[in-house]
Amino acid sequence: MKDIVRLSALALAGEIRAGRLTPSEVLDATLAHIEKTNPPLNAFITISEERARQEAAAAETLLASGADDLPPLLGVPYTVKDLVDTAGVRTTYASAILENNIPERDSIVVARMKEAGAVMVGKVSTPEFGHKPMNESPLFGRTLNPWNLTRTSGGSSGGSAAALASGMAPLSIGTDAGGSIRIPAACCGVVGMKGTMGLVPHDTAPDGFGNFSNQGPMARTVLDTAMMLAVMAGPHPNDPHSHGLPIDNYVAAARAEGDLSGVRIGWISHMGNDLIDPEVLEACALRRDALAALGAEIIPFDEPFENTEPYWLVITQSLWVARFEDKLAEFGDRMTPTLLRGIEEGRSYSAVELQRAITFRTQLFRRIQSWFERVDFLLMPTLSRTAIDADHDFYQPITIGNQVAGGIRQTWYPYTHPFNMTGHPAMTVPCGIMADGLPAGLQIVGPMMADAGIIHLAATLERAHPWAHLWPEGS
């Protein structure tokens, strides 16, 4: 079983195509590993065994037909964050409001994974409506970090990251409105990507035009992430940001061929924050230097940068009021206190403050876009420290390098939400295990539609500093 669940998606697909494994054998091993591994982590909300059996059987029928043009992920297991709709499988958004919700159709990204032959094994956890970077909810409790059960898995795609890190599936669909793919990926030592806004269509976003939430791929390797992106990307009528965006060869980009001669990389150590753990910064700088050794030109960026959290909150919390205010009378006593407080804070913003935040978003986009006149990519830490304690009070300051830093959003992940507001593609990759036994992450950001370039840079880093062989104890 361990031999199967430690295979990458690419390797599993190859074994299945070659007839050395069947989709049912892979599914059996996956479900057995979930049964053994999930209880202490609490990554799953729902195991979709019935649907998984049907999809595995369909994959075997297709294999038996002798078809030449087999889909790329045939028989490969994956999980779906419980903010993404799945036909016939309960989708709760980790909220009492939708506790018994069973969608009639798949979200477009799930439908595309199904078309690619992948087998959905279950729905993984999220905080209620994905509202914070710690994975816990009144309905399903807390998801813990496979590397240390006293630490958070990160959020809000923490179930995805915990499942990947512990081998419960090689692929997962996450979502990211302020770092919710990249934060848990960095916490758990896996890869997570938020593509260019609209590249992966989001057909259920409440605000399609002002949206900065993304659905995206998470995996243990860059190549697996690229394979997933290739399946998920492409326009959809229901996402106005997706129309007209070109698709690149993401899988070819992940082959990491060639050196980095002529590539200019902007190095950012701080982004509206004062503190970063020195060990995390050193680990990121080591990877930066590896890229320089391969021919890249490193250009330091040390200009002042305003922390974007206040503007992000005005837009986000105003939307929470619009979405959830009419649910409070019936469900308020069963909702997460932090979400309720965020709704209350959202009520305090005026229409003028909201428009100022939207205007700031445009200014921020133009500023960051101008950086790419000087460099091809940006490189920075993903988080300012490793995973915080799982039971940390969300409204209490965190510590960074034994110093009191301040609020979680402003000081732990100031590097992530700017690129949600601007729409630029961003990917986090692991950058080693720190002295506390926990992973750290390095973020690569590119100009609009440079997703393939980010993947190529990440794959080059992976070749220089591999990570997929690292597994938490007991996984």
- Residue 1: the pLDDT is 67
The domains of the chain are located at: 2-464
Please, what's the b/e burial string for 177-186 (b: 16 or more CB within 10 A of its CB; e: otherwise)? bbbbbbbbbb
Q: For residue range 170-188, what is the model confidence (pLDDT) as tens digits?
A: 999 999 999 999 999 999 9
CATH number of 2-464: 3.90.1300.10
Q: For residue range 203-239, what is the model confidence (pLDDT) as tens digits?
A: 999 999 999 999 999 999 999 999 999 999 999 999 9
With a cut of 80, say whether residue 2 has pLDDT above it.
no
Q: For residue range 190-207, what is the model confidence (pLDDT) as tens digits?
A: 999 999 999 999 999 999
Structure tokens at 84: 């993404």
The enclosing H or E element of 250 equals helix 250-253
Residue 183's SS3 state is: helix
- Residue 475: the pLDDT is 86
Q: For residue range 287-332, what is the model confidence (pLDDT) as tens digits?
A: 999 999 999 999 999 889 999 999 999 999 999 999 999 999 999 9
C-beta of residue 123 within 8 angstroms of C-beta of residue 91: yes
- Region 246-271: mean pLDDT is 96
- Residue 474: the pLDDT is 85
Residue 205 CB contacts under 8 Å (≥ 6 apart), including other chains: 211, 213, 239
Catalytic residue among 8, 81, 107, 384: 81
Catalytic residue among 180, 318, 384, 475: 180
Residue 104 to residue 102: CA distance in whole angstroms = 7
Look up 180 and say whether it is catalytic.
yes
- Region 8-31: mean pLDDT is 98
Please provide the size of the chain in residues: 475
Residue 273: phi and psi, rounded to 5, are -120, 155
Look up 107 and say whether it is catalytic.
no
Question: Across all residues in the chain, what is the average pLDDT?
Answer: 97
Catalytic residue among 48, 153, 156, 384: 156
Q: For residue range 86-117, what is the model confidence (pLDDT) as tens digits?
A: 999 999 999 999 999 999 999 999 999 999 99
With a cut of 70, say whether residue 166 has pLDDT above it.
yes
